[in-house]
Structure 1
């Protein structure tokens, strides 16, 4: 929320409350004045209505006087011929009445009544030609005849359909003047009725405006606090109007609304003025300072612009500027520290990712190419472990400096932009450089880097047995992002490493297909049901006499999606992705369930060899699971030989040692598989807590090809000295069998003896051996002294 909004939220309620309080005070002070003013207004309007009424009374009286003074009325009264009077004189009298009326459409009536209340003449200005005098006027005439008055006016209103003022007067028919009271019985009563239209309109307007009826009554209004007025219309005849409370409340509501609107309008104007002033002198300079700071943070400016403001804001701007300069200096130091590898002094992974992202975007935008060299140092861990971390650190520093020198020299010679060199992790380096297709820069740089390891890497007069494997990926052909570029170059580096190390490899479609298959294998391993896709085959192990002493359980996988997948493919993926537990436990249970069939084929002393992942040895539950399966299938623990790869002993953890000791305590056999495939030292051989050593097929092939029988005898003798039996793997030729036999191997395994079989095929193979004993092996065993002497 901005300062302007905060100021508005804080100021608006205060200003509005102040103006509303002032409006309330004005309302209280003006309410009585408004009431008095309204009372005077009401009295004036009622008095005006009374004056109009009285004028109508006078008009009716004047109307009658005019008729009395005219000849038409005299002739009508004095005429004795009733027929002539009714036809001729009546019409003339009617014309006289109409001529005296101000409004031709206004209502006026004239009646002549005798003492018996018989109408000798009646005319009214209306649309009814047969109109007669109504009962109200007859009742009025009756009262006058029975009374003592000779003339008077009366208002016939609320009880009649037609409100009117009736002026009545007794007239002597002879003298045409007022009769003597004693001669009242012989006089004629003449009535003129006039409808007071103006008065009625004023009365209706008052009633609509004030929401109350105008009451006509014989007495005036008693004094009250209500908004009311009472005026006399005549003797004992008053008009009274008492306004309803809603009328005054509406006036007050109008006043309240006007005052409230005025208060709000004044508040808005005051707030607008305050906001303008605050923005001009307070928030404006602060907003300018904020914009300068944001511009600096966004990189649009390098320093905060100085402002010529006095007071706190000016000092704040100068202080923030100084703080920014100090922060920039500190940030530069931190960035140099965070973006630089502490050991080699070149860029680290974070700095490389940032620089490489910009370089990749520029290359894609410009249509050029950039190449990434992913460099991994082969055998660096061996050097680090053997010669110490100090030597390893010096080696990395020297290597970084030499690579940087070669990269700079080659890119400068080719006229390219400076390359980006970084150390990504312990022994991994990366070089990202802009290049043109076919200019040979990448090949030249790879050759220069590999030349640094020709004959080993030289450091301080000594050469260390390390090489380099380089993977190359090109943008945008191989990848369009830094992450993809690194991933593909890393895959190419492993391709170079698997091809023999100290070489470079370019990322290819085949390599991408291989990585895709690895991902598919991993996905299938996560979702498969082992009972549906896995099966076990068994490879016999024989002694020097050709007798089957055991079988090794080997896992086979046929996927409906991927087809046949070899263990060399899926085992490393399962181990690296943490999926081997499911596989190992299925193999253990399935192999133990088949163990009784193997013993039925080859004898009760047959030993079942089960391979498990080295990673499983770090699990606390492996020993319990072996015991549970053993009990479930009713087996002797000495019938189970747990085979471990020899790489498990490179780093023996406490948990791993406890698991091995627990398995041996329970009676299980332990074998070291693939011996000779890694970097196992003699000291580690001596410390191996195993019953059997299985010589790797590669070691057997190498020693056999080089005729190194003394070396093989020494290895076998060392194992025998530790009370460990020796099994030779990969026996696929009679020469290998003869050499292993001459060296003192105890048991043999290989395609010369038998390939892996399913349980059913193994039974057929065993039946064939029963019918035709192990002839070739017996011949080799018999010929062992001669072969040994020849070797």
Structure 2
């Protein structure tokens, strides 16, 4: 934080506090006036609300008097025929109500009640043809009949409806005037009701504005709270509105905001003047010293120049120069330590990255070349685990020293810049050589490193079985920057391991193309839709009589960008990148969708074999996916055989074992595929949780000869002893099939029987087999028929 900012943060709160106090006092004096104005406005609003209500009461009173004075009401009361009275005269009264109402949409109702409490007529101008008089209005009529009142109006709230103003008048049936009290029992009660729409609308607006309900009561109400008002709506009807506590505070928000902005603005203006003076005489001299320190730390300056100031700032400048000189010396020691590998004493990864970046920049600027050798010690983990970490550490230390010595001897003899030798991690080393490609330097260094391991690597007067695999990448031919150069040299190192270790391999175009294709396959796997690019083919499995007992679903992928991609290419990539879940789900669903078609071709007992990714067996949802597909396609679990690779079955974990047990408990069959492709012991064969063993084609190839027949018989017998059927893969000749049958093999699969086919081609193949069998059957019967004829 700069001194200017620090001064601002120290002075500004003090100045702001003064203005805040002044603004607070002003707010307190003005808030009382605002509250008084708001209270007066509220009383005025409630007074206007009372006037609107009285207007509705007056209109309702005029309505009932006009109806009583009209001829329609007299005719209705005096008409003896109830049907005529309700229909014909009722229509006249409705017309009278419409003519007397200035707003045809306003709710109006008319009720005629004959003694003792018989609803003779009820009408309301609503859309409900079955409308009835509200119960609360009937109760009110009952109370009026029982009371001495001859005329009344009231404010009623029907349940589930808006309030009504109800006016009631008792009429003598003979004189059609208000009866005397003694004759009230035989009088007719006329009631009109209107909905005070203007009153309700205004009441709703007030409630929305003030955030509180307008209370309406038949008992007198008094104002409560600092801002509250009451109004008299009628002789026995009162209203009160008490806004929520924060209403006035909301009104004061603008005043608060204005005072706050003013306080902050004046504070900033005041502090600006103060800071201008502080910067001129205090912070600027210190800032000049700070800039010198910054330039020194960034490398723009090599030393400090004392500031020509008197007092504390001048002494501070001299002391800072002394501290800087001491720090430069200490920093050099620390940097040397931080760039050195603590075990071997050569450069570590950090120093290698920093120096290599500089070397590449120089090579790029001068159009020169440099080469990276990436070295991995083969079998180091074996030595480290068997002989101990002390031997492992000593081996790495000795190797680092010998690498530096051999590389330095080559560069000095060829008059080249010193090569950079570093330990990157564990048993991985890197050497950056500055030489022209093709001059033999890198080849000589590689051969010298490999010779270090001739006959083993000697440490502590003992030889250890380690070698070196070296990957070589050249800048700029093989890479454009350091990360790419390291990655390509690392890939070349793995190529050297694949070639047999204890040698070197140059990063090549073919290796680049292989990595590029793998990356493209991964990208296409992420983007592709299996429905658009993938399809299944099916390979029949037959018994010794040639009957198809099962079909194996095999996945095929044809990419618009990459063309046909074999399963050996994309399945490992999909498994390592976690992309196989969607492919497996598609395979399971599509295969089961074709299950009924396959059963139609070969019989209801035909088994559908589905391969799944070994990685999916660690997924807890694999059983649910299979069961969901069963339900969706109406397939029985016993018709599905799930094939697992033998190499995966060797290393079953707890979760995968639980998944297999769950699948078997639901009725699925389990098959071990490619048996013999990995490393399998007799105990593992006994422990396999499977119904079927499929012998790998390579194993079948090696065992289908007369000399290996006893071994083949023993292997099949062992599988039969575990209640497992044996399927032989790769059956492509009749000789193989004959030997497998002699050894007791149960089922056969291979190109001798059929190549993988689509469902449609499988149907054609099945028809061709039926025709061939029919021809063979006919040919077998013809000689027999001829012999019978000759006897006769």
For residues 715-759 of structure 1, give each alpha carbon's deviation from its aligned partner in whole angstroms, at most 9, with x where no partner exists.
555555544444333333456545655665443333233221111
- Is 1:611 matched up with 2:615? no
Corresponding residue number in structure 1 for 2:626:
626
Q: Is the 8 A contact 1:606 1:639 kept in 2?
A: yes
- Of 279, 282, 299, which residue of structure 2 is paired with 1:278? 282
Residue 429 of structure 1 and its aligned partner are, at CA, apart by 4.2
Corresponding residue number in structure 2 for 1:693:
693
1:486-505 to structure 2, matched below 5 A, reads: 486-497=486-497, 503-505=503-505
Q: Is the 8 A contact 1:303 1:321 kept in 2?
A: no
1:446-595 to structure 2, matched below 5 A, reads: 446-450=446-450, 464=465, 469-497=469-497, 503-595=503-595
Q: Secondary structure at the match of 1:694?
A: strand
Mapped to 2, the partners of 1:761 and 1:711 lie a distance apart of 37
For residues 749-786 of structure 1, give each alpha carbon's deviation from its aligned partner in whole angstroms, at most 9, with x where no partner exists.
3323322111122222233333446999xxxxxxxxxx
- Is 1:419 matched up with 2:419? yes
**Root mean square deviation, CA, Å:** 4.7
Mapped to 1, the partners of 2:404 and 2:758 lie a distance apart of 57
Residue 14 of structure 1 and its aligned partner are, at CA, apart by 11
Mapped to 1, the partners of 2:498 and 2:775 lie a distance apart of 40
Mapped to 2, the partners of 1:739 and 1:404 lie a distance apart of 62
Q: Is the 8 A contact 1:544 1:746 kept in 2?
A: yes
Corresponding residue number in structure 2 for 1:728:
728
Aligned pairs, how many? 520
For residues 151-190 of structure 1, give each alpha carbon's deviation from its aligned partner in whole angstroms, at most 9, with x where no partner exists.
xxxxxxxxxxxxxxxxxxxxxxxxxxxxxxxxxxxxxxxx
1:394-413 to structure 2, matched below 5 A, reads: 403=403, 406-413=406-413
For residues 59-100 of structure 1, give each alpha carbon's deviation from its aligned partner in whole angstroms, at most 9, with x where no partner exists.
xxxxxxxxxxxxxxxxxxxxxxxxxxxxxxxxxxxxxxxxxx
Q: Which moved more, 1:761-770 or 1:729-738?
A: 729-738
- Is 1:665 matched up with 2:665? yes
Residue 330 of structure 1 and its aligned partner are, at CA, apart by 8.3
Corresponding residue number in structure 2 for 1:357:
357
Q: Is the 8 A contact 2:408 2:418 kept in 1?
A: yes
Mapped to 1, the partners of 2:9 and 2:355 lie a distance apart of 46
Residue 624 of structure 1 and its aligned partner are, at CA, apart by 0.3
Residue 428 of structure 1 and its aligned partner are, at CA, apart by 4.7
Residue 553 of structure 1 and its aligned partner are, at CA, apart by 1.0
1:224-373 to structure 2, matched below 5 A, reads: 277-278=281-282, 284=285, 286-287=286-287, 289-291=289-291, 293-299=293-299, 314=315, 318=319, 336=337, 347-373=347-373
Residue 627 of structure 1 and its aligned partner are, at CA, apart by 0.8
Residue 478 of structure 1 and its aligned partner are, at CA, apart by 1.7
Q: Is the 8 A contact 2:376 2:429 kept in 1?
A: yes
Mapped to 2, the partners of 1:774 and 1:431 lie a distance apart of 74
Corresponding residue number in structure 2 for 1:125:
none
Q: Secondary structure at the match of 1:557?
A: strand
Q: Is the 8 A contact 2:370 2:437 kept in 1?
A: no
Q: Secondary structure at the match of 1:574?
A: helix
Q: Is the 8 A contact 1:373 1:432 kept in 2?
A: yes
For residues 387-410 of structure 1, give each alpha carbon's deviation from its aligned partner in whole angstroms, at most 9, with x where no partner exists.
998988777667666655544444
1:47-446 to structure 2, matched below 5 A, reads: 277-278=281-282, 284=285, 286-287=286-287, 289-291=289-291, 293-299=293-299, 314=315, 318=319, 336=337, 347-376=347-376, 403=403, 406-424=406-424, 428-446=428-446
Residue 306 of structure 1 and its aligned partner are, at CA, apart by 8.1
Q: Is the 8 A contact 1:7 1:275 kept in 2?
A: no
Mapped to 1, the partners of 2:441 and 2:646 lie a distance apart of 43
Provide closer, same or farther for how the CA distance between residues 272 and 604 of structure 1 changes in structure 2, counting only shifts above 3 A: closer
Corresponding residue number in structure 1 for 2:747:
747
Residue 329 of structure 1 and its aligned partner are, at CA, apart by 5.0
Residue 587 of structure 1 and its aligned partner are, at CA, apart by 0.5
Q: Is the 8 A contact 1:303 1:325 kept in 2?
A: no
Q: Is the 8 A contact 2:306 2:321 kept in 1?
A: no
Mapped to 2, the partners of 1:556 and 1:328 lie a distance apart of 67
Q: Secondary structure at the match of 1:418?
A: coil
Residue 586 of structure 1 and its aligned partner are, at CA, apart by 0.4
Residue 632 of structure 1 and its aligned partner are, at CA, apart by 1.8
TM superposition score normalised by structure 1? 0.55
**Largest Rg, 1 or 2:** 1
Q: Is the 8 A contact 2:371 2:473 kept in 1?
A: yes
Residue 433 of structure 1 and its aligned partner are, at CA, apart by 1.8
Q: Is the 8 A contact 1:538 1:759 kept in 2?
A: yes
Provide closer, same or farther for how the CA distance between residues 12 and 400 of structure 1 changes in structure 2, counting only shifts above 3 A: closer
Q: Secondary structure at the match of 1:550?
A: strand
Q: Secondary structure at the match of 1:672?
A: strand
Mapped to 2, the partners of 1:396 and 1:737 lie a distance apart of 56
Provide closer, same or farther for how the CA distance between residues 475 and 707 of structure 1 changes in structure 2, counting only shifts above 3 A: farther
Q: Is the 8 A contact 2:307 2:317 kept in 1?
A: no
TM superposition score normalised by structure 2? 0.55
Mapped to 2, the partners of 1:461 and 1:691 lie a distance apart of 52
Q: Is the 8 A contact 1:727 1:747 kept in 2?
A: yes
Mapped to 2, the partners of 1:383 and 1:728 lie a distance apart of 41
Provide closer, same or farther for how the CA distance between residues 327 and 649 of structure 1 changes in structure 2, counting only shifts above 3 A: farther
Mapped to 2, the partners of 1:347 and 1:641 lie a distance apart of 57
Q: Secondary structure at the match of 1:435?
A: coil
Corresponding residue number in structure 2 for 1:643:
643
Q: Is the 8 A contact 2:341 2:423 kept in 1?
A: yes
Q: Which moved more, 1:637-646 or 1:737-746?
A: 737-746
Provide closer, same or farther for how the CA distance between residues 672 and 303 of structure 1 changes in structure 2, counting only shifts above 3 A: farther
Mapped to 2, the partners of 1:455 and 1:625 lie a distance apart of 55
Q: Secondary structure at the match of 2:631?
A: helix
1:9-20 to structure 2, matched below 5 A, reads: none
Q: Secondary structure at the match of 2:596?
A: helix
Mapped to 2, the partners of 1:756 and 1:298 lie a distance apart of 69
Q: Is the 8 A contact 1:289 1:317 kept in 2?
A: no
Structure 2: segments with no counterpart, 5+ residues: 16-268, 777-792
Residue 558 of structure 1 and its aligned partner are, at CA, apart by 1.6
Mapped to 1, the partners of 2:651 and 2:314 lie a distance apart of 65
Q: Which moved more, 1:553-562 or 1:428-437?
A: 428-437
Q: Secondary structure at the match of 2:581?
A: helix
Mapped to 2, the partners of 1:376 and 1:580 lie a distance apart of 32
For residues 215-269 of structure 1, give each alpha carbon's deviation from its aligned partner in whole angstroms, at most 9, with x where no partner exists.
xxxxxxxxxxxxxxxxxxxxxxxxxxxxxxxxxxxxxxxxxxxxxxxxx9xx99x
Residue 626 of structure 1 and its aligned partner are, at CA, apart by 0.5
Structure 1: segments with no counterpart, 5+ residues: 16-263, 777-791
For residues 462-512 of structure 1, give each alpha carbon's deviation from its aligned partner in whole angstroms, at most 9, with x where no partner exists.
765x76554322111121201221233334345445556555433333433
Provide closer, same or farther for how the CA distance between residues 723 and 766 of structure 1 changes in structure 2, counting only shifts above 3 A: same
Residue 552 of structure 1 and its aligned partner are, at CA, apart by 1.6
Provide closer, same or farther for how the CA distance between residues 470 and 655 of structure 1 changes in structure 2, counting only shifts above 3 A: same
Q: Secondary structure at the match of 2:600?
A: helix
Q: Which moved more, 1:375-384 or 1:347-356?
A: 375-384
